[in-house]
Amino acid sequence: MNYDHQQVEGKILSEHKKNNDFFCDVSKSNKKFYSLAMFPYPSGNAHMGHVLVYTLSDVKARFKKLKGFEVLHPMGWDAFGLPAENAAIKHKVRPDSWTKSNIHKMKNEQLNGEGWSFDWDKELNTSSPDYYRWTQWLFLEMLKANMAYKKAGYVNWCPIDQTVLANEQVINGHCYRDGAVVEKRLMDQWFFKITAYAPKLWDDLEKLIHWAPEAVAVQRNWINKNIGTNIDFSVNDLNDTIRVFTTRADTLFGVCAVVIAPEHPLVAKILSKSPSPEIKSYVESALKKSQVERMQSKEKTGIKTSVKCQHPFPEFAPEKEVSVWIGDYVIGDYGTGAVMCVPGHDTRDFEFAQKFKLPVYEVIVPNKEYAQGNLKEAYTEFGTLINSGPYSELRSQTAIEKITHDLVKKGHGEATTTFQLRDWSVGRQRFWGCPIPIIYCQKCGTVPVPEKDLPVELPIARDSDMEDGVLNLRQFHDFVHTKCPHCHGPAKRETDTLDTFLCSSWYAFRFIDNKNTKRPFDSNVVNSWMPIDFYVGGLEHAAQHMIYFRFITKFFKDRGLVNFDEPVEYFFCNGMVRQGGAKMSKSKGNVVVPTEIINTYGGDALRFYILSDTPAELDRDWDDKGIKSKQEFIKKNFNNLSNYLDTVKHIIPQRGDLLKFKHQELLFDLFGGLSQLEEQLEKNLFNNAVAKVHELSNSLLKTINTLKDLTESDHGTLKSLIADYLVAIGILLPFTAEMLLKEYFGQERSLYKSTWPMMDNRYLTRDFISIAVQINGKKRALIEIKKNSSEAEALAVAFNDVDVKKNIEGKEVLKKIYVPGKIINIVIKG
């Protein structure tokens, strides 16, 4: 049989389809493995990134299957989202039909040719009512748990997409999708109280020992825990207090002002007490500014109010009372939205003080000997306190504790922890998403849709609905106008849809029990299959998706739905596939289309190539030069094996007595190589595994091409070894291996139903090994010794070696080191 990739792969693909080879029986969970790659958005264009990520989950799935695990390797579609809607507007196609046809295209044309071992029985689609019904249920659960709320707040508004963005979707003040400058708008928004889980999300980062470290770092950055102190400054004029948050309570006696954010509630109070057009206009313009503008203006801005507030320890402070300022460098929704301005020891406060000529008080010095003087810049390190009343001469760390303690005692503050994580804004003013199951009744107010009425189905968008260039649920009157579930009076539905990150925050649970019509999933089954044993995806999802996924899992646990609190045991972050240093993109015209590569070189060649060389977790530059040589390797491997197997068709494969086998060297290569391959696959060193397959093949083909005088039983042994070899390399070259296995070892054979080859331990190590002899740390000779040589035996061989003799001649030997199986080092004088 001659290798023809299209013929081989076509045949194997149709067999998989016919036999439903990759079905997972979730009831068999005592030895389970859940291998999951982040499901795709059905854009209609599969790219090399998809090939990489699904190949990784597939390799892992196939390997674990051979090792006797019941493997769940599902696939589905993250189908809601903007591109469908934009396509609808642009091409006048319904978002649902656009999505459906893309799914069809990707499933049957684009993601098919690799022979991935997906169990399509578990397929799901987040835009299908039988899925989003449960996304809506999840929303109602949040509501029940008091974890969902609607609040008027400043939200990130993308003027191009005409929608609110989550903080995670704002990159340096720009929309993550189209780069538009994000504006601030005051709107009523649905939020999930993810901040209630901030401490757990933070603490449990420690449990993620099998996560890619950079993914943990991204989360840590995002949640950002800060331990500090809330300090109250009383505002006597307004009979109120300003609470500031600081991590540096030790700098309390350097305060020259208190600065509040333009969003701070006290602003209104100040204005109503003493109206000031200047303050009003400053605040208004600051609020209008986008986050970028606020950040970009290098110079600090601010305005002094007529209000003063009192220092909590007036007796020791440089100023008993300081002015309250409004400054837009203070962030409204971080900490308390107010800071104490300590120019001497905070760079931002220093700039602010410089600009407005505020006094700089020096209260921390590096050490006692330090001569204080005019600070040229803020000293922000820890140090020793000065000019701080009774706290002078304390070290910063001690002072923070003591000052906090005393503030608490006086009722002027508290120790506190803040997180940078903000509540999750889950509403989107878009059509193609999961409708929020909420009804607004004039009489009863905000009424959740009763569970029995779920799903709240998304109406079908007709061409006429798309004419004004925007799709919005508000346009669908039949949808909007409904009856109140309580009083049955006229009412209106919520027209926002849910952030698609909510859809994808629980899909991994649903895969396990995707046909359940009574519940989102059966807790017992999910408990037996999760956490996910191997989750693959890009680092770009480490912040948003992964944090929501963890949050929802913890929420489910608190609701008694699952018994674990982290969803992912092992998170593998695959690198990016670039082209010429740039991310592949349609606009750059540098997209390499996987289907074309598969047509030319074959699925095995592509798979083998993408796993080779560059470790899967590192970014790579796509280069199709190397793929041809992979195809040639596969062809050579296939044809040589096939030629040999044709000549021994009549011989029954039988391992037999290996000690009698003629080619003993092959046995060492094969069993040694297979056991290393096993370890590499276990440790996710896929590029090394590819190299190992090359070595195994080189050694096997060399043997096959030099065979002579083999007995029938030798051939039987060799044939059985080839079968073992095929099963193992089938993890990396499934088509080739499956074809040869079926052709020469029985049509009923299937890689996926095989088991990892039995090793023969006698061939894992050799009797004689070669070790290096160093003299003064430099390699001078290589000697052959018996594996278990004693020190004396090994040294005797070493000292007998010509090169060793030459090097130590006439020198004094100071020390002899023998590390069994590793090395000999002889230390000589001079």
Partner RNA sequence: GCCCAGGUGGCGAAAUUGGCAGACGCACCAGACUUAGGAUCUGGCGCCGUAAGGCUUGGAGGUUCAAGUCCUCUCCUGGGCACCA
Site for RNA in 247-306 (CB under 7 A): 247-248, 261, 291, 294-295, 297, 300-301
Give the span between the Cα atoms of 720 and 724, in whole angstroms: 6
Whose Cβ is closer to RNA: residue 116's or residue 222's? 222
| Least distance CB 302 / RNA (angstroms) | 9
Give the span between the Cα atoms of 140 and 447, in whole angstroms: 11
Whose Cβ is closer to RNA: residue 302's or residue 730's? 302
| 3 state DSSP class of 625 | helix
For tokens 């039983």, the residue is 713
According to CB under 7 A, which residues from 367 to 386 bind RNA?
Answer: none
| Contact predicate 84/91, CB 8 Å | no
Residue 29 interacts with RNA (CB under 7 A): yes or no: no
| Least distance CB 94 / RNA (angstroms) | 34
According to CB under 7 A, which residues from 337 to 356 bind RNA?
Answer: 337, 339, 346, 348, 351
According to CB under 7 A, which residues from 41 to 80 bind RNA?
Answer: none
According to CB under 7 A, which residues from 191 to 220 bind RNA?
Answer: 213-214, 217-218, 220
DSSP code for 347: H
Whose Cβ is closer to RNA: residue 321's or residue 351's? 351
According to CB under 7 A, which residues from 647 to 686 bind RNA?
Answer: 679, 685
Q: Which of 63-71, 242-250, 424-432, 493-501 is the region at the interface with RNA (rule: CB under 7 A)?
A: 242-250
Amino acid at 144: K
| Contact predicate 165/158, CB 8 Å | yes
Pinpoint the alpha helices (H) of 484-543: 500-503, 507-512, 523-529
| Least distance CB 687 / RNA (angstroms) | 6
* H or E segment to which residue 569 belongs: none
Whose Cβ is closer to RNA: residue 123's or residue 351's? 351
Whose Cβ is closer to RNA: residue 218's or residue 798's? 218
| Least distance CB 135 / RNA (angstroms) | 25
Residue 531 interacts with RNA (CB under 7 A): yes or no: no
| Contact predicate 811/830, CB 8 Å | yes
Whose Cβ is closer to RNA: residue 235's or residue 252's? 252
Amino acid at 570: Y
**Count of residues that interact with RNA, criterion CB under 7 A:** 81
| Least distance CB 787 / RNA (angstroms) | 12
| Least distance CB 390 / RNA (angstroms) | 22
| 3 state DSSP class of 629 | helix
For tokens 């045991």, the residue is 569
Whose Cβ is closer to RNA: residue 245's or residue 391's? 245
Distance of CA 272 to the CA centre of its chain: 48
DSSP code for 181: B
Helix axes 712-729, 686-704, angle to 10 degrees: 160
Q: Which of 465, 695, 714, 801 binds RNA (CB under 7 A)?
A: 695
Give the span between the Cα atoms of 485 and 450, in whole angstroms: 7
| CA pseudo-torsion sign 544, 549, 554, 558 | positive
DSSP code for 532: B
Q: Which of 56-64, 192-200, 495-503, 689-697 is the region at the interface with RNA (rule: CB under 7 A)?
A: 689-697
Distances (CA, A) of 116 to 298, 431, 735, 756: 52, 33, 10, 19
Give the span between the Cα atoms of 537 and 439, in whole angstroms: 37
Q: Integer distance in angstroms from the first to the last C-alpha of the chain? A: 66
Amino acid at 691: A
Q: Which of 77-85, 245-253, 400-408, 459-467 is the region at the interface with RNA (rule: CB under 7 A)?
A: 245-253
Q: Which of 15-23, 223-231, 359-367, 740-748 is the region at the interface with RNA (rule: CB under 7 A)?
A: 223-231
According to CB under 7 A, which residues from 606 to 645 bind RNA?
Answer: 612-615, 618-620, 625-626, 628-629, 632-633, 635-636
Residue 688 interacts with RNA (CB under 7 A): yes or no: yes
| Least distance CB 769 / RNA (angstroms) | 7
Helix axes 5-19, 734-745, angle to 10 degrees: 80
| Least distance CB 768 / RNA (angstroms) | 11
| Contact predicate 533/569, CB 8 Å | yes
| Least distance CB 398 / RNA (angstroms) | 17
According to CB under 7 A, which residues from 759 to 818 bind RNA?
Answer: 770-772, 774, 776-779, 782, 815, 817
According to CB under 7 A, which residues from 541 to 570 bind RNA?
Answer: 543
* H or E segment to which residue 445 belongs: strand 445-448
Q: Which of 196, 444, 591, 691 binds RNA (CB under 7 A)?
A: 691
Whose Cβ is closer to RNA: residue 271's or residue 772's? 772
Whose Cβ is closer to RNA: residue 145's or residue 819's? 819
According to CB under 7 A, which residues from 159 to 178 bind RNA?
Answer: 167, 171-172
